Structure formats: C-alpha cells, structure tokens
Amino acid sequence: APKPIIAPSILASDFGSLAHECSRIIKSEGADWLHIDIMDGHFVPNITIGAPVVTCIRRSVDRSEDWTKGVFDCHMMVAEPQKWLQDFKDAGCDLYCFHHEAAETSKDPKTPSTELIKNIHALGLKAGVAIKPGTEVDVLYPLLDGSGEKPDMVLVMTVEPGFGGQKFRPECMAKVEALRKRYPELDIEVDGGLGLGTIDQAAEAGANVIVAGTAVFGAQSPKEVIEKLRETVER
C-alpha cells in the first residue's frame, strides 16, 4: 500500500501567524504535506483564503523533489475549479484537488473532471479529485479506469465540506474500502473529523493520506499526534 502521508489542515491554525504556523508544522512538528482549504462561499457556505495568501506561505515552506515533504495540497471547495487553476499554479500549489461535483456542473467555463485533470497536468501539477459524503464512489471509476489522464489522488470527504471541527462520518469508509480494493496503489485521502479517536477506522479502510485540522493544531504536542497518526496508518 502507498506510504502514509499526514497533511494538517491549516484551517485550524492561527491565521494571524499563518506563515510561521505553516513552516513550524512541517519543519518542527514532522508533518508531510500542508492541506490548504480554499472556499469560495458558493460551493460551500464559507470563505477562507485565495491564491495571494498561498503565495505568501509558499515563501516559508520548501518542498522536496519527490512528493513527500512540503507538498501544498490545495483542497478547492469552489464552484468553478477551472477558473483558479493558473492562479494557484503561480502561487506555488503542488496538488490541485477539485470537487467532482463542481467540475461536472461548472458553467464558466464548462470543464468536466476529465478535461480538468488534463489541464492540471499540463501545468505540471498533480491532480486530485474529491467527493462529498453524499456522492457515490462509482462516479470516479470512469476517471480511474478510463483511457484519459488519471487523477493522482482521490479525496473522500468524511464531513460535509465547509467547516473544520465537525464529526467524522464513519459511513464514508465503505467508499474508501471500495477504492482501496480496486486500486491498491492509489493515494486515498480522508478529510474531516480525523484524529486519534477516528484514525483506526480510516486506516483499516485503507486511507493513506490523512488530513487533520483540529486534532493537530489543537493538540498540546502536534508532533506526537502526527507520529501516532502515521504509526496507525503504517501498521
């Protein structure tokens, strides 16, 4: 199975010291990636940050060559994912993870998931595809099995996107299990309500990329939490 990757969600960090929080979590606390939640107030009922902020934090976080450290995992909870692609490339995003629901309904411009993955790769970024708790996992099979360019990661949301600090939804694990069975090497990310109390279920189902906001940034020792999460996925 692919290696464990721990990706703290900076949504739970202190935005007043964002650059410092981001470099600290990677350099001192041992996180692998940074999960950056982008919300536009349309796809989800909340607004967070945009590309200019990502540009600023990129200056304080170095990336490794090999997709293991300092990856900017941008979770695009936006209604028009195609529209922001170039801006996020320029800002220093590494992995552009869009919502399948948004791609399939976007109008401006109309860019279904297959097209979007191609466009993301053309800019030299990795592509992720996310699904909300209410979206069936089967919608991803044509993308993963088709003859077109494939997503590099799938994100199975374990809360309704929009806010940090929500309760993990265990019923979403059936989707992770189904994906892991079909795609032994795929990077499968889970996001929402993950922490020491829920990691067992996610690891058991086969997730290997773990997003955790509150559980990491709210901890006395983020380092210990990150280590425990990683150990659980590794076993």
Using DSSP, state whether 12 is helix, strand or coil: helix
Instruction: Residue 155: name its binding partner from ligand DX5, Zn ion, none (Cβ under 5 to 8 Å by kind).
Output: none
Evaluated on CA atoms 39, 42, 46, 51, the torsion sign reads positive
Per-position DSSP letters for 145-163, written without gaps between them = HSSSPPPSEEEEESS-TT-
Q: How far is the CB of 184 from ligand DX5 (least distance, A)?
A: 25
Nearer of residues 9 and 113 to Zn ion, judged by Cβ: 9
Q: Which residue is nearest to Zn ion (CB)?
A: 75
Report the residue from 21, 37, 101, 189 that binds ligand DX5 according to the rule CB under 6 A. Answer: 37
Query: Per the residue annotation, which of 40, 90, 191, 200 is the catalytic one?
Result: 191
Using DSSP, state whether 36 is helix, strand or coil: strand
What binding mask, one character per residue, do residues 173-212 give for ligand DX5 by CB under 6 A, x or -? ------------------xxxx----------------xx
Using DSSP, state whether 225 is helix, strand or coil: helix
Scan for tokens 């979206």, then name that residue.
Answer: 135
Asked if 191 interacts with Zn ion (CB under 5 A), we say yes
The CA angle 141-205-218, to the nearest 5 degrees, is 110
- Residue ranges for the known binding site for a divalent metal cation are 35, 37, 75, 191
Which residues here bind Zn ion, judged by CB under 5 A?
A: 37, 75, 191
